[in-house]
Structure 1
Amino acid sequence: MQITLDNPASAPQPLSPYYSQVARVEHPDGSALLFVSGQIAEGDTLAEQTRGVFQTLAALLEAHGATLADVISIRTYLTDISKLDEYGTVRRRFLTGTPPTSMTFEVSRLFRPEALVEVEVVAAVPGR
């Protein structure tokens, strides 16, 4: 098993030098698990930030041969759980297949004070 930590140049770069955006755990058969760090995005509304987050997640996955359809687990952190439906409406535009396993938390604040949502995912990349 091989583990690679990566900040793909084709995706927005991390906001801090203290983490990697993707951990790829490669199996000898070519399949892999991708652990993607929590992502936030700019925007004035939760919907705008959610769209930005999923666009960034898609770019990070694509850099490793995966898509949002390969997501098997998702963790969402919201600063206002009463806006879960607003978040869910945008999320469903990006995750259109069978929903992955999911956990959603309300938190008092995130890494950046203006952030309303942070999302991290795990994706499974099939072998060759």
Structure 2
Amino acid sequence: MPRQPISTPNAPAAIGPYSQAVRAGGTVYLSGQIPLDPATGELVQADIATEARRVFENLKAVCEAAGASLDDVARVGIYLIDMSDFAQVNAVMADYFQAPYPARSTIAVSGLPRGARVEVDAVLVTG
């Protein structure tokens, strides 16, 4: 099955050899987003809720570039440097999704690109 890359200037450009997202059939795999401002390419450094909002806005933009929305997301993966940020990131996620909620995992990691504190990836289904 051929892969179709998806990209948008409304989310940060990939900072490595990968696509913002790839469509394979009716499934779109969104690469992890950290709180990079798509206009400047700079890491947003604020409270964890503000950083998480930037991440979800980036994911939303990639979903839209795929002709979908966050409502089409089937699975979310959240990666946190500090699990004490879980409740705040969870509250931000609740602002972006509605029932039925996507499946999700939350994983503590020792480091993320550019020193970010949160990264989120997702899988959405369009067909």
- Secondary structure of the 1:2 match is coil
Does residue 40 of the first structure (1) align with residue 62 of the second (2)? no
Give the Cα–Cα distance (whole angstroms) in 2 for the partners of residues 56 and 10 of structure 1.
7
User: How much has 1:13 moved relative to structure 2?
Assistant: 1.6
Give the Cα–Cα distance (whole angstroms) in 2 for the partners of residues 117 and 17 of structure 1.
18
CA contact (8 A) 1:70 1:124 kept: yes
CA contact (8 A) 2:10 2:58 kept: no
- Secondary structure of the 1:86 match is helix
**1:123 equivalent in structure 2:** 124
Distance 1:65 1:6, change over 3 A: closer
Name structure 2 gaps, 5 residues minimum.
36-43
Does residue 64 of the first structure (1) align with residue 43 of the second (2)? no
Q: Which aligned segments of 4 or more residues in structure 1 are displaced greater than 6 angstroms?
A: none
- Counterparts of 1:1-128 in structure 2, within 5 Å, are 1-14=1-14, 16-26=15-25, 32-41=26-35, 42-113=44-115, 115-126=116-127
The C-alpha deviation readout for 1:28-82, integer Å capped at 9, x for no partner, is xxxx101000000123111011000110101001011110010001110001111
Q: Between Structure 1 and Structure 2, whose CA radius of gyration is higher?
A: 1
Which amino acid in structure 2 is aligned with residue 58 of structure 1? K
Which amino acid in structure 2 is aligned with residue 106 of structure 1? A
> How many residues are paired up?
119
Name structure 1 gaps, 5 residues minimum.
27-31
Which amino acid in structure 2 is aligned with residue 124 of structure 1? V
- What is the TM-score of this pair, normalised by structure 2? 0.87
Give the Cα–Cα distance (whole angstroms) in 1 for the partners of residues 10 and 95 of structure 2.
22
User: How much has 1:12 moved relative to structure 2?
Assistant: 2.7
Which amino acid in structure 2 is aligned with residue 53 of structure 1? V
